Structure 1
Amino acid sequence: MLSPEILEYYERGGERERLSAGTGRLEFLRTWDLLSRALPPAPARVLDVGGATGAYAGPLARAGYAVHVIDPVPEHVAAAAGLDGVTAALGDARDLPEPDASADAVLLLGPLYHLPDRADRVAAWREAARVVRPGGVVAGAVISRFASLFDGVVKGYYADPEFVSIVERALRDGVHRNTGAVQRWFTSAYFHRPEEPAAEAAEAGLAEVRTVAVEGPVWMTGERLTEFLADPRLTGIMLDMLRRVEDEPSVLGASSHLLTIATRTAA
């Protein structure tokens, strides 16, 4: 289901702690804030597709949701299944082993940026629309087309000519192809232009589609971001300000991640 370099990347376990500090922590806090406003109230059933080791499934279960993770990586499934209140199974976002209208909400927080072909991404949205109940919510995360361009400056990756060529390809067609024997950067992925995920969700039959910036440009602030995250008061101010501009079109391209939220039309 996954190409070898993507599977190898996740089997190394790097995603286990990614959302716990720095830019990953900001991504988590903003995504959680968005989900808290979009999801139906607990104890709704949430299908977390591509949920990895349960970074969101665990907190959702603790908040009273019934959470089932579907992921293509066996190690992820085992880890998620070990969380209190979470069940998990192997599966592919394009062919979900779930009955029609069996979930109150579906999360696609991992699959979409590992499907380089548009038809496959639309298939994942369509499967989510199939298994969510009428009126239910589907939320999908993507990586911005320009994330690696900014990352090259923020983290100094442009010192390596190989990274430069990876970024040039991503800017041309969205395909971030990292097939090196030692993956020093993020693995192979598809990076969306801001207008693309909403169009894909709409083509899959979903309605009330909205795309928002997750981190905005704040993820590029380095040590200043760390200072804010260490101070609950400053963190609260930052999250409030980002909430105010999450719909601003001019901010979307500067965000590392985008979240598209849609609903299945009522029967």
Structure 2
Amino acid sequence: MALLPDITAFYGAGDEAARLTSGRTIGTVELVRTQELLRAHLPPSPASVLDVGGGPGVHARWLTESGYQVLVVDPVQEHVRQARHQGLAAFVGDARQLDQADVSFDAVLMLGPLYHLPDGAGRSRAWREAHRVVKPGGLVAAAALNRYAKLLELGSPTALDIATTGLRVRRDGPTTYYHAPSELCAEARQAGFDEPTVYGLHGPAYEALRAEERRTGTKDLGARALETALAAARFADSHPELVVSSLHLLAVVRRPCTP
């Protein structure tokens, strides 16, 4: 199965790790929130984790350092090379057709594939593959982009199109799919998982951070902005109606213990 050419070209030439680790406030919020939510839901180490679409291994690295047994699978050869360079176990693979055996992992991460699969059939296959390889009772954590959050961006020429269709075709980056939160939950249930819990990774402050970046011309907005954004995101975890304000979503689901 082939990815869309613009996706392969974009990630083959860029530095995906820098998006989360370069010190940009928005990236730091996403990294910290992903780490704390995974720590709250993953089984204890040394549980086995399949990191599907794990890129160059940003999350696999800290999970490995925390004692987890992590395998990275990614469709971009350069990402696999970068992950291996860090000493991580990594192989080329596709979320829609995994080589791993049935019920072979305690947890599966899909922190990238869903928003690069614009067709519903492809996303459905990725969900079913995650269900197949995770053990009964095991965790799957899947990231998605929220189609309604772009409406909060003033002056966005594509916000209404994204909110309506979920699809964004860009000249400066890969084709991207944006979920409605209810759609994300429906996909998980249709693949056989229990009822999902959906979190907003960036929380309500994402577009405010973006606006401040543009106003100040800097991407590191300082400790106060970071802590305020994190506090808002954590507050929103107990108020599900606020999930629509976060650009990045994280669905946490489990495979039922019994058929």
- Output the TM-score relative to the length of structure 1: 0.86
Of 208, 211, 221, the match for 2:198: 211
- Quickly say closer, same or farther: Cα 1:11–1:139, change in 2 above 3 A: same
Shift in alpha-carbon separation, 1:201–1:247, aligned structure 2, 3 A: farther
Partner of 1:49: 52
Q: Which among 232, 245, 249 is matched to residue 240 of structure 2?
A: 249
What is the 5 A alignment of 1:135-214? 135-151=137-153, 153=154, 158=156, 164=157, 166-178=158-170, 180=171, 183=172, 186-214=173-201
Q: Do the aligned residues in 1 keep the contact of 2:146 with 2:181 (CA within 8 Å)?
A: yes
Query: Whole-Å Cα distance in 2 between the matches of residues 6 and 148 of structure 1?
Result: 21
- Stretches of structure 1 lacking an aligned partner (at least 5 in a row): 159-163
Give 1:112 deviation, angstroms. Answer: 0.4
Letter in 2 for 1:265: P
**Which amino acid counterpart does residue 242 of structure 2 have in structure 1?**
V
Equivalent residue, structure 2, for 1:28? 31
In the alignment, structure 1 residue 75 sits paired with structure 2 residue 75:
no
User: In 1, are the aligned partners of 2:202 and 2:230 still within 8 Å (CA)?
Assistant: no
Rounded to whole Å, the distance in 1 between the matches of 2:5 and 2:11 is: 10
Contact 1:77 1:89 in 2 (8 A): yes
State the secondary structure of the residue aligned to 1:15.
coil
Percentage identity across paired residues of the two chains: 42
Q: Distance in 2 between matches of 1:131 and 1:50?
A: 15
Paired amino acid for 1:53: P
In 1, Cα distance between equivalents of 2:3 and 2:229:
36
Residue 230 in structure 1 maps to residue 217 in structure 2: no
Residues 167 and 176 of structure 1 are in contact (CA less than 8 Å); yes or no, is this contact kept in structure 2? Answer: no
Distance 2:238 2:93 in 1: 32
Amino acid aligned to 2:7: I
C-alpha contact (below 8 Å) 1:211/1:247 kept by paired residues: no
The change in CA–CA distance for 1:167 and 1:240 in structure 2 (over 3 A counts) is closer
CA distance in 1, matches of 2:129, 2:151: 32
**1: CA distance, partners of 2:159 / 2:174:** 12
Q: 2:67 and 2:226 mapped to 1: Cα distance? A: 25
Distance 2:33 2:11 in 1: 23
Aligned residues: 248
**Is the 1:26–1:219 contact (alpha carbons within 8 Å) kept by the matching residues of 2?**
no
Between 1:6-15 and 1:125-134, the stretch displaced more is 6-15
C-alpha distance in structure 2 between counterparts of 1:187 and 1:22, whole Å: 23
Contact map agreement 2:45 2:66 (CA 8 A) in 1: yes
What SS does the aligned partner of 1:139 have? Answer: strand
Report Cα offsets for 1:120-164 as digits up to 9, x if no partner.
21211111011001111000000010344445x3xx7x4xxxxx2
- Which SS does the other structure have where 2:61 is aligned? helix
Rounded Cα–Cα distance in structure 2 between residues aligned with 1:39 and 1:255: 22
Greater CA drift, 60-69 or 213-222: 213-222
Q: Tell whether the 8 Å contact from 2:134 to 2:255 is kept in structure 1 after alignment.
A: yes
Corresponding position of 2:216: none
d(CA) in 2 for partners of 1:112, 1:208: 18
Structure 2 length-normalised TM: 0.88
Instruction: State the partner residue of 1:108.
Output: 110
Shift of 1:214: 1.1
1:109 CA displacement? 0.2
Q: Matched residues in 1 for 2:8 and 2:89: separation?
A: 21
Identify which of 57, 61, 82 aligns with 1:58: 61
CA distance in 2, matches of 1:150, 1:240: 19
Instruction: String of CA shifts for 1:22-43, please: whole Å, max 9, x gaps.
Output: 2111111111111010101111
Contact persistence 1:134–1:265 (CA under 8 A): yes
Describe the shift of the 1:247–1:174 C-alpha distance in structure 2 as closer, same or farther (beyond 3 A): farther
* Cα distance in structure 2, aligned partners of 1:92 and 1:238: 34
Two-structure CA RMSD over aligned residues (Å):
2.1
Report the alpha carbon displacement of residue 266 of structure 1 after superposing the two structures with TM.
1.0
